[in-house]
Structure 1
Amino acid sequence: MTSLIPVTTTRLGDHLPLLDLLPDSAPTAWVRGGEGLVGWGVHATTTVSGPHRFADARHWWQKQLETFAVTNTVHGNGTGPVLFSSFSFSPDDVSVLVIPKVIVGKKGDKSWITWVGSDPQPILNSERADLPKTSVTWEVSESSDEAWKSGVKTAVDRIHNNGLDKVVLARDVVGTSESAIDARSILKTLAAEYPSTWNFSVAGLVGATPELLLRLTKSMVTSRVLAGTISKTGDDERDLALAASLARSSKDLEEHEYAVRSVADAIEPFCTSINVPESPFVLHLANVMHLATDVTGALAETLAHVDAFTILEQLHPSAAVCGTPRDKAAALINEIEAISRGRYAGPVGWIDAAGDGELGIALRCGQIKGDSIRIFAGCGIVVGSDPVKELAESEAKFIPMRSALL
């Protein structure tokens, strides 16, 4: 009989800065405002793809849990063994699952460490040498800009003539460096400049998303929906006026309503009650402002075996990253987008042994591959969209990753 693998979780006396703990060995992270989870080392990892990737991920995670002997004196979400997940946007692309060897968490006044194996509790080191910023040279292609604007025009034409309400189109830019790109320096810069976002790193995909796709905790479901964007000027008075115009914009409100409705419709079958605010609020980030709505629901106690994987399967892809109706939007994306999104715009975050978790949509992010990085931006296209303005909006959405790689 195969012996079980010890997994130990215990409290930490000190509240250590999570991102400062990360070594360069497979850093994983999900951190917002100094709270969250970081991990390193790889106990186990796998990939899943295809239309059943969420169910396949659950099956693999449950099989891994069966091999563990867990000692957890802390309890609560994110304690014990944790799976970091980075799912692809399309079922045709590869999703990555990682169980780190060491995980450190912080929530409120509680900090803890989890480690896999029979070794003594790992010694933590938060006093690492400063990480040099990576200087990246970006590819510039006017022809690709023109091609993307042409795709926006095609999308608007289809919306007029083909029963499509909204479609989200993405574009990418590739940058190269003289040395290997380190996710840790990107994470620390993004955390400092965009403190209200969720900073993430899983298998080379690193970024700072403002959009929480799913938080499942003690039978409560939460999703923060963003759709509708305007760039900031840096002038406070001017930006307040722009925020007011965004909140009144019929084009942006229409785009936002599609995204909110798609999330509410997806979680409703699992809930006894749902709260959808009548009007969005304006979320201010360092470079842009978004229309935002927090949708919440109470999970029905009569539904057995509903976990984060179950809800993700229904939530993804939401109208915020795909469109409405979903099938028609996805078909148009496949036809005209001309890039593989990979894990961009897919769910990213963590899931614990109870099936609870916190996952965002992988936005404002890039995929690192050695000395190169591919960053992404997407825009929601509706009947009132203008190709020139959408291109400018996409450039604004590139700014967080570009500035983290100066």
Structure 2
Amino acid sequence: MSSPAGVTLVPPRLRVRTVVVPDPGPLVALLPETDALAWIRGGDGMVAWGEVVRHKAASPADAEEWWTTLVASCDEETELDGAVPGSGLVAFGSFVFDPDNTSASSGLVVPRTVLGRRNGRAWLTEIGVEADEQRPVPCATPVPPAPEGVRFEGGSLTSEQWRAAVSRAVGSITAGQLDKVVLARDLVARADADLDPRWLVGRLSETYPRCWTYLVDGIVGATPEMLVRLEAGLATSRVLAGTIQRTGDGRTDLARADALTRSSKDLEEHEYAVASVAAALEPFCSALNVPETPYVLELPNVLHLASDVTAAVAPGVTSLSLAAALHPSAAVCGTPTDVARGLIAELEHLDRARYAGPVGWTDASGAGEWAIALRCGILDETDPRTIRLFAGCGIVAGSDPDAEWAEAQAKLAPMIGALTTRR
């Protein structure tokens, strides 16, 4: 069941039953071949399949209205002792970066079956079915096939054209039109046979355990950036801005991390991103903590300047309402937002679709996790052998086009590796 974007239909009355189950082992191994959804970090998270109902939303705010109505009419029972975020009724969602410049759509999906594990507790939720006896934990599925014959093709802009776009952006910043803009580039990958997203989820979650690996409606990736997590009234937003590529040599990377923390260009870029998140969170908060200085987040391919902004939110605030307020942050758009978004549309020549938009989940209590869809690819709906990869860079006055191209290439590494590396 679905609804047109921007139109809220009366949701169905759902029956939800959650049971405690033994530890299921690796969640990735339980993903079915079709209708799979995933949200995994450090081995914990949720995998889901089937579809009970879908809402084609215009925005996270529109999705929240529909979700609130659905939650109010559902019947839930659970064996879990105490609230566990993500258990019970849950929806996975993915939203476009810019509704005014895309042919893609946003929305929420309520799965039929959810298997979750968090802090040593595992559960199985069935949605939209009559209550019955406890169901067995699904068995592991066969290992999905690795991609074969993957080749990469140029994206919307050539390397020269993209570097020229960066130069134009720097010119606009120098002229005082804006402070920062984030420019993305794309890369098309084609394989000899249909791509199995379960393989990509497995490789990404194994290689990047500190990231949030996701699969929602054909967008798959492993993002290090949390737009907002809401649990028990505490909101957390992990802001990343300022990046340098790793070399693989410990001593060299240590020196690079030190240089990153002293780079005026990267610190400036990071400051804009943190300020935009703090300003968006403030109206919802009774208390807000903004770190004075960033730390270095170490990932296998890159080093990031990172700050974890935390806030105590007012009663009734939900993860979807916070995601609506925070998106787009300066980390993926720029400052001022409207000017940056206009320049992006002018310079990128790219439909970002759901790249750099919120991706994640919400539960019936309003808790949830909404990351920024980065380090990702979007599977082609008409040709399952094709996936479009994305990466972006924050451009400020001190940006160098060649350095930004190298940074974007480093950010494409997770998806390129997942497509080309065999176990």
Task: Name the TM-score class by shorter chain.
Answer: over 0.9
In structure 1, the residue matched to 2:287 is 273
CA 1:144 to 1:218, structure 2 compared with 1: closer, same or farther past 3 Å? same
What is the CA distance between 1:182 and its match in structure 2? 0.9
Match of 2:374 in 1: 363
Q: 1:67 Cα deviation (Å)?
A: 4.5
- Paired residues for 1:3-14 under 5 Å: 4-14=13-23
Match of 2:76 in 1: 70
The C-alpha deviation readout for 1:5-48, integer Å capped at 9, x for no partner, is: 32101111224321111101211111100111111111112322
What corresponds to 2:257 in structure 1?
A: 243
Q: Distance in 1 between matches of 2:12 and 2:392?
A: 48
* 1:375 aligned partner: 389
* 1:1-400 mapped onto 2 (5 Å cutoff): 4-49=13-58, 53-74=59-80, 75-92=83-100, 93=102, 94-116=105-127, 117-118=129-130, 120-135=133-148, 136-140=150-154, 144-301=158-315, 305-369=316-380, 370-400=384-414
TM-score, normalising length: structure 1: 0.95
Structure 1 pair 173–353 and aligned structure 2 pair: CA distance change class (3 A): same
In structure 1, list runs of 5 or more residues that go unmatched: none
Identity %: 48
- Unmatched segments (≥5 aa) in structure 2: 1-10
Amino acid corresponding to residue 291 of structure 1 in structure 2: L
Q: Which moved more, 1:266-275 or 1:125-134?
A: 125-134
Q: Cα offset for 1:142?
A: 11
Instruction: Tell me whether 71-80 or 97-106 shows the greater mean CA deviation.
Output: 71-80
TM-score by length of 2: 0.91
Q: Distance in 1 between matches of 2:53 and 2:14?
A: 12
SS of the residue 2:115 aligns to:
strand
Q: Give the direction of change, closer, same or farther, for the CA distance of 1:225–1:185 in structure 2 (3 Å limit).
A: same
The 3-state SS of whatever aligns with 2:362 is: strand
2:158 alignment partner, SS class: helix
Give the paired residue count.
399
Asked if 1 retains the 8 angstrom alpha-carbon contact of 2:156 and 2:350, the reply is no
Distance 1:3 1:348, change over 3 A: closer
| C-alpha deviation, 1:64, in angstroms | 2.8
Q: Matches of 2:331 and 2:126 in 1, distance apart?
A: 36
Contact 1:16/1:126 (8 A) holds in 2: no
The 8 Å contact of residues 9 and 71 in structure 1, kept in 2 or not, is answered as yes
C-alpha displacement at 1:66, in angstroms?
4.2
Query: Any idea what the Cα deviations from partners look like across 1:214-238, whole Å, max 9, x if unmatched?
Result: 0011110100000000000011111
SS at match of 2:321: helix
Q: How has the CA–CA distance of structure 1 residues 40 and 143 changed in structure 2, closer, same or farther, with 3 Å as cutoff? A: closer
Q: For residues 372 and 387 of structure 1, what CA distance do their matches in structure 2 show?
A: 28
**Could you tell me how far 1:211 is from its partner in structure 2?**
0.3
**How far has the Cα of 1:152 moved from its partner?**
0.2
The separation in 2 between residues aligned to 1:240 and 1:105, in whole angstroms, is 37
Q: Deviations over 1:268-323 (max 9, x none)?
A: 1111111111111101100100000000011134xxx3212221121000000000
Cα distance in structure 1, aligned partners of 2:200 and 2:230: 28
Paired with 1:122 and 1:372, the residues of 2 have a C-alpha distance of: 36
Q: Structure 2: which amino acid aligns with 1:237?
A: R
CA distance in 1, matches of 2:398, 2:368: 37
Greater Cα offset, 113-122 or 203-212: 113-122
Amino acid corresponding to residue 401 of structure 1 in structure 2: M
The letter for the 1-side match of 2:136 is I
Q: Distance in 2 between matches of 1:138 and 1:3?
A: 44
2:122 & 2:241 partners in 1: Cα distance? 34
CA distance in structure 1 between the aligned counterparts of 2:360 and 2:181, rounded to whole angstroms: 25
Report the alpha carbon displacement of residue 120 of structure 1 after superposing the two structures with TM: 4.7
What is the Cα deviation at residue 385 of structure 1?
0.3
| CA apart distance, 1:73 | 2.5
Identify if the C-alpha distance between structure 1 residues 72 and 208 changes in structure 2 by more than 3 Å, giving closer, same or farther.
Answer: same
SS at match of 2:178: coil
RMSD: 1.7
- CA displacement 1:159-201 (0-9 Å, x = unmatched): 0113311000001111111211111100110111111000000
One-letter identity of the residue aligned with 2:339:
K
CA distance 1:140–1:332, shift in 2 (3 Å): closer
Following superposition, which runs of at least 4 residues in structure 1 exceed 6 angstroms of deviation? Answer: none
1-structure distance, mates of 2:135, 2:192: 34
